[in-house]
Amino acid sequence: MTRQIRKVAVIGSGVMGSGIAAHLANVGIPSLLLDIVPDLTPQEEAKGLTLEDKAVRNRLSTAAIQKLAKQKPAPLSSKEKASYIEAGNLEDDLHRLQEVDWIIEVIVENLSIKQQLFKKVDEVRKPGTIVSSNTSGISIKAMSEGLSEDFQAHFLGTHFFNPPRYLKLLEIIPTEKTKDDVTTFMKAFAEEVLGKGVVECKDTPNFIANRIGTYGLLVTVNEMIKGGYSVGEVDSVTGPLLGRPKSASFRTLDVVGLDTFLHVAKNVYDVASGDEKATFDPPPFMKEMAEKRWLGSKSGQGFYLKQ
């Protein structure tokens, strides 16, 4: 069967979902970018707005899309790229998943929330539509357990790296139920159309890159505490001064989002034991920062203030 990806649904418009939709726009593939309607802000409540008003406004507004399209250096103009991304809200637009050839889930790193979403997706998608998760390391098999055979045959992990427009790596994680032709197609599509370098991974906690990367970061933080080093010192010796402009430890955490990082560390913590469990238990100061919503760039304050 000849497959084609003419249109994609990206579910979750946070750090990664918006970046993936923008990358798709850069290669000329239109997408439907869906999310839940966020709670009302105190200012919106004071104005008497309801969640319904907000849902309608979200669906119609293109301002956010134009803003994210402007970030992308690519052959298309911002206006052209914005026209490739259509925003919607999950509740009203779920049926529109029938319009697309690939559905990519990019919501919060939580197994049960992702399972609830996939159950709904299974009910509305066209048979044969590829569905993937951008999870950083939750079991792909566990996410699709109990869903239809057709869903499981077309389901796999497609793990993009942040920011998707710059980082070429894509981990692809099939399960034993994923059809071979789906995996082969997605690998070729990712390389030839999305311009990615693909590494196929086993469905083990945090796959390969995050299994190593999360470990490295947590060991770095623990050494920093023991040695009494500062955040600035650690970033100086892990980043630009060593010729690695994008890899400074805490700057990277700010880009990733501390809440997401803590969820990803938990993926291994939950299955580890002994010393390994202790390593994957982040120090209290990181949890306190997350509680205060010092999450990094997405909340304006992390280890650094957003510039």
Give the residues lining the site for ligand NAD (CB under 6 A).
12-17, 35-36, 90, 106-109, 113, 117, 134-136, 159-162, 256-257, 260, 264, 298
Instruction: Give the nearest distance from C-beta 206 to ligand NAD in angstroms.
Output: 10
Instruction: Give the nearest distance from C-beta 102 to ligand NAD in angstroms.
Output: 16
Could you tell me if 252 and 290 are in contact, meaning their C-beta atoms sit under 8 angstroms apart?
no
* Comparison of 66 and 229: residue with beta carbon closer to ligand NAD: 66
Count CB-CB contacts under 10 A for residue 13.
25
Cis peptide before 163 (omega within 30 of 0): yes
DSSP 8-state code for residue 14 = S
| CA pair distance 116, 237, nearest whole angstrom | 42
Q: How many alpha carbons lie under 13 Å from residue 257 in its C-beta half-sphere?
A: 16
* Comparison of 108 and 219: residue with beta carbon closer to ligand NAD: 108
Instruction: Give the nearest distance from C-beta 279 to ligand NAD in angstroms.
Output: 19
Instruction: Give the nearest distance from C-beta 34 to ligand NAD in angstroms.
Output: 7
User: Helices (H), strands (E): how many in the chain?
Assistant: 16, 8
* Comparison of 35 and 235: residue with beta carbon closer to ligand NAD: 35
Instruction: Give the nearest distance from C-beta 91 to ligand NAD in angstroms.
Output: 9
Could you tell me if 88 and 116 are in contact, meaning their C-beta atoms sit under 8 angstroms apart?
no
Count CB-CB contacts under 10 A for residue 74.
17
E-strand stretches of 38-193: 85-89, 102-105, 130-133, 155-160, 169-174
Instruction: Give the nearest distance from C-beta 77 to ligand NAD in angstroms.
Output: 25
Q: Which residue has the tokens 């044969």?
A: 128
- The CB-nearest residue to ligand NAD is 14
Return the SS3 of 98: helix
Instruction: Give the nearest distance from C-beta 228 to ligand NAD in angstroms.
Output: 28
* Comparison of 179 and 220: residue with beta carbon closer to ligand NAD: 220
* Comparison of 61 and 184: residue with beta carbon closer to ligand NAD: 61
Which residues neighbour 218 within 8 Å (Cβ) at sequence distance 6 or greater? 265, 279, 280, 282
Return the SS3 of 60: helix
* Comparison of 179 and 271: residue with beta carbon closer to ligand NAD: 271
Which pair of structure tokens corresponds to residue 88?
A: 């919607």
